[in-house]
Structures are given as structure tokens and as C-alpha cells.
Chains A and B, each alone.
Chain A
Amino acid sequence: MIQSELLLQAKEVSKYFYEPEKFKVLNNISFDIHKGEFVTMVGKSGSGKSTLLYLLSTMDTDYEGNIILDGENLTLKTKEQLAAIRNEKIGFVFQFHYLLPEFSSLKNVMIPALKLGKYAKEEIESRAYSILEKLDLKDQALKPASKLSGGQQQRVAIARALINDPKIIMGDEPTGNLDSKNAAIVFDLFKHLTTEFNQTVLAVTHDNDFAKASDRIIEMADGIIL
């Protein structure tokens, strides 16, 4: 395999929780992810997968070590800069669906793009529609997000993560709430994006089939990578 471009790097990343007592949840974690890779992360419950993903996605800045994304050391960035990086370069799908309940599915998908301001509104809207269509959600587009089923909400969240063509898509069990049919749709979509568009995906999963079909598996146990 041709050595492709380095995209995401964790360098000796450690994190502590102080409540209820001091506890090292991540212990000197280092790994690389290259452009175009479809990486899955597995490990038993409580091993620190979500915690690590929050650090990598810049949503938690309380850690030791360095995280480098697309050549930029995220550890040195201000919160405002990190917000802009999240907006432009990272698409994140939460373990639990986090949508803005007062907005329609379509609006939820469009908002990161409207924030980015790279395209005109009409363009963003048609892009959002086409992503929703791929995820079999076109008929739900105008419903308020709070009126969707759990699985539908999760797919809207995936669509939202894709809208800005991010450098990397990170998902914390993105298919956790989905039936096998929809999980397959999402998996195929990720696969398609990585192979056809050189997109990079890092997804936490408990689904062994899902993991096995990815390019690489990172296994975690008790705050370290095996």
C-alpha cells in the first residue's frame, strides 16, 4: 500500500477524571490515522473510547499530550480556533443523538454549512436534501427533529456530520441505534466515501461485523491501545 498522507495523530495523550476520585482514564495513547482510512475503534464498555473521541474531536480540551489534525497541533489552539476547526474539518456523530429539537431535520443538517458560509443557501439546501435522501430520510426532512424516532435522529446527525465535507468523520457508535438495514446503509456510505472520495472515518463500534469490514481496527482496554 502506498504510504498516504498523515491526517490525525495522537501523541502520548493522557486524561484524568477527578470525580469521584482521581483516575487516569486514558494512559499515554499514541496512534496515527491516514487520509482515506476507514478506522474502527473497539473495546469493552468503559475502556475510554468515547473519552478519547471527544479529545480527538476538540470538544474536550482537558488532557495531556498532543493531538495533530491536518498538520495543525490542536493542543495549541484557542477555543475560538477549535470551534472553526470543528465546523470545517470535523464531522462528529454522537453516541446519543444530539439534534436541535426546535429545528427541522433539514435545518439541523444545514446549520453547520450555513455557519461555514462556503456555499449559497440554495446550494446547501440541495446538498442537505441529497444527503438525507441517501440516508433514506427525504420524507422526514421538514419534520421537527424532536418528532423523529431514535434511529431517524441518528441518521440526521450523520447527515449533519457530512454536510461540510469534513477532513474526518468521527462517530461514537454511529450505528448503535440503527436496525441492520439502516446500519448497512450507513456502513456502505462510509465505505463509499473513503474509497471513492478519500474521506477519512474513525468510528467507535460494538458491532464486530462492522469493525471487521473496516480498513483497520484500534482496540482499547482500560485506557490504553492494545
Chain B
Amino acid sequence: MKNYKHNINSEIAFIHLISKKKQTMVAALGVTVGIAIFIFMNSLMYGFEVYSVESLFKSTPHLRIYKEEHISQPLIKTSKTDLALLTNPKITKESKKLINPNLIIEALKKQPEVIGVTPNVSVNVFYNNGEAQVTGRTSGVNIEEQNTMFQLEQYIVEGKYSDLKANQNGIILGVGIAEKLNVRLADNISVTTAYGVSKVMKVVALLKTGVTNTDKTLSYTNISAAQQLNKQGASFITDIYVNINDYETAKKLIPKFKQLSGYEVEDWETANTSAAAANKIRKMMAMAISFSIMLVAAFGIYNILNMTIMEKLNDIAILKAIGFSGKDVIRIFVKEAIVIGLIGIAFGLVLAILLVKVMGNMWVGGDIGFFPIRFFPKFFGLGIGFGLIVTTLAGYIPARKAAKLDPITIFRK
């Protein structure tokens, strides 16, 4: 017997789809809505997550290397039997200093996951202008490296960050501090520390990260100025800031970096426990919501496709009566489901893009500005995959049920 492959299954699927255009479109629309909502809601939640993490990383590194502050130990050891020795333990000042920071920095830079390393001299200060005084923290930095790691440039609202290099006594002030002190660009302020140092510094730029607490306390100076404020010499470094390619892995790298540097290592989550906890809750909520949306969307898609197939039950019985097998029936209806799915997904992607665009143009104001929703290709990819799987199953499951039946059983229904 000669064998011709007539692809009659595809032809039947095609005719079914085009002869009931309206029904096909309604089913596709069901897919469209499911996919669009899936992508949109995920972008919404993930956008907010990224926003909050990013605002954290405007001033916090992924990992920070520092020396544990030690309480001074009494010189004479006491044993249990002896009389108690009264001591006056103090935090030793010298203990904050990292020895040989350059060696550590070089070693860190060689690590494959490290994308940025910069030394830092941190000191708590009072900013003064006349009677006005603000407490805060200044960070002595290599401003170029700092800019590469934290995109300072983006948050400078007045002046230029690079002017710090030209001015040894320059300072980049958070806008909140400037407002309280009532100073403007090129004004001088005096900066004092608990070590009794007082320096007159010139405002070279204003910084607005959008995180109110940071903008009200943080300033950047040159490393040398911060060393002077600490009453320390040129080798004094308090922290090394490290950024890595994936901030989620920060915790795992702590032991490795500890060994490498010989000092304490703190990851961003530990440094910002409350922010990190909020982030975790948000993430769990996002996952729960995302999962629910997936269920609802899947159910909607399944229902509408199931209905489409149930309406074709009589056709299935006829096809079986004239010699189409159960497998053929499944193939025909899965093909139809996939075509409906593809049409639905295509429109769903377009709708999702529109929704994300519209939402992203909404002004929220405050620290946030525009609504923090963005295009994440991964959700579009997930949406396509999810849509295809659900539509395929939504074609397969009811078709298989019908395919198992004797044709007469269907006619008798």
C-alpha cells in the first residue's frame, strides 16, 4: 500500500479555527487577558522589589569589610580564685584600622564574582553652619571608584561629583543636610568630630538619593579629609566596600572574604536588617501573589479552551466514527489550542507592554517619583512559556477525555 501523508489533522484544526472566527478570538482573548495580567502583576511586584533594593544600594555596598571594635582587655589576667580586678574596659580607637588595606583590595579584585572594590574612611560628624548643627556621617572615598560602584553621578542634583578631586577640603552634602544648614553650592560649612577635629569644608555638590534618611545624614569627602577628621594618618582605612555580580549571593561569600582579608565581613542584609526583612516579606508576598495569579490565569485559559472543545464533541465522535484514532483527535485539538494560545500570547504581550508603559508613566511623587514598574524580559519569557504550557494542557486534557470515549457514547450524550 502506497502511503501518502495528507496532514488532514492540521487541515481539520485549521478549518475549525477559521470557520468559527469569533469563538477562536474569544478563546484567544481569554489567553491574552491571562498572560497580560500575569506579566503585568509580576513586573509590578518585581519592579517594586528592584526599586527598594536599588535604593538601598545607593549608599550601601553588597559587602563591607571592617575590623571588629575590641574592648580593651585588662593587662593582668584574673583567675577565679583571686580577688576580682576592677577594670575600665574601653573601645580602643586604634582597633578600627585595617592593616594593609591595599593588599586586601588587590586580592579582592582578583575574585571572579567581585565587580567593584573601594576603600572607605567612615567617621561620625557634626555639620555646622552658624548656630545650625546636624549630626551625620561622612564617608571618605575615592570619588571616582565610588561613582563607578554606586552611580553617584545619577544622584548629584547640583554641582559635579568630580569637583571633589580638585578640592581637598571639598564635601558632597546630602540635600537634607544642606536644607537644614541652609547652605548652597560653594558655601563653606564647618565639620567637627568627637576627636576634637574641626575642618572648614566647601560644598562642591549636592546629593539626593531619594532615601530621606540618607540624604539627611550622609556626606562624601576625600579620603585624606576623612582621615584628618579621624585624627589619623594616611594609611588609616576603616572599611573596604565590595560589590559583586549578584547581590543575592552576598551572604554565601562572607566566609571566603573573611578568610581572604582576615577581617570581619558584613553583607548588605545584615547591615540593613529592617530593610532586608521588609524585602524578604515583599518577596514572599510577591511569590504568593504571582502564584495565585498564575492559578487564576491558568484556570481562565483552561476553562475557555475546554468550552471550545466541548462544543466540538459531536465532531470528535464523527471523526472517530470515520476512522480517526484517539491520538488523531488529541493532535487536532492540541493544534487548535496551540494556535489559539499563540494568538492569545501575542496579543497578551502587546497588552502587557501597554500596561507596563501606562503604569510606569504614573507619577507617585515623594521619594519614589514615577511608579517603579519596568520591563523585565524574564517575565515576558515566563509569560510565553506559561501561556504555551497552559494552552497545550487546556487542549490536551479535555481532548484526551473525549478521545477515550466510543463514538456512540458521545452521540448518545
Contacts and interface: CB of A to CB of B under 8 A. Distances in A.
Interface string B1-45: 111111010011001100110000000000000000000000000
Nearest to A107: B15
A92 B6 CA distance: 22
* A interface residue count range (under 10 / 10 to 19 / 20 to 34 / 35 or more): 35 or more
A86 B16 CA distance: 23
B54 interface: no
Interface in A1-18: none
Interface string A156-183: 0000100010000000000000000000
Interface in A88-139: 88, 92, 94, 98-103, 107, 111-112, 114-121
B132 to A, nearest CB: 83
A117 B406 contact: no
Contact of A111 (B8, B320, B404, B411): B8
Interface in B318-365: 318-328
A28 interface: no
A79 interface: yes
B323 A83 contact: yes
Contacts of A61: 406
Contact of B325 (A80, A100, A101): A80
Nearest to B318: A98
24 contacts: A59-B320, A59-B407, A59-B408, A60-B406, A60-B408, A62-B406, A79-B326, A79-B406, A80-B325, A84-B325, A87-B323, A98-B317, A98-B321, A100-B315, A100-B318, A107-B15, A114-B8, A114-B11, A115-B6, A115-B324, A115-B328, A118-B1, A119-B4, A160-B322
A223 B399 CA distance: 34
A83 to B, nearest CB: 4
B406 A102 contact: no
Interface residues of B, number: 33
A187 interface: no
Given A60-B409, A80-B327, A102-B15, A118 B322 contact: no
Contacts of A87: 322-324
Given A54-B408, A60-B409, A102-B19, A117 B6 contact: yes
Interface of B: 1-6, 8, 11-12, 15-16, 19-20, 314-315, 317-328, 404, 406-409, 411
Contacts of B321: 57, 59, 86, 92, 94, 98
Q: Which of A54, A83, A114 has most chain B Cβ within 10 Å?
A: A83
Q: Which of B1, B6, B20, B315 has most chain A Cβ within 10 Å?
A: B6
A116 B323 contact: yes
B4 A86 contact: no
Contacts of A121: 4, 6
Contacts of B408: 54, 59-60
A60 to B, nearest CB: 4
Given A114-B8, A120-B4, A84 B323 contact: yes
A118 B323 contact: no
A59 B2 CA distance: 27
Contacts of A120: 4
Contacts of A116: 323
A99 B314 CA distance: 9
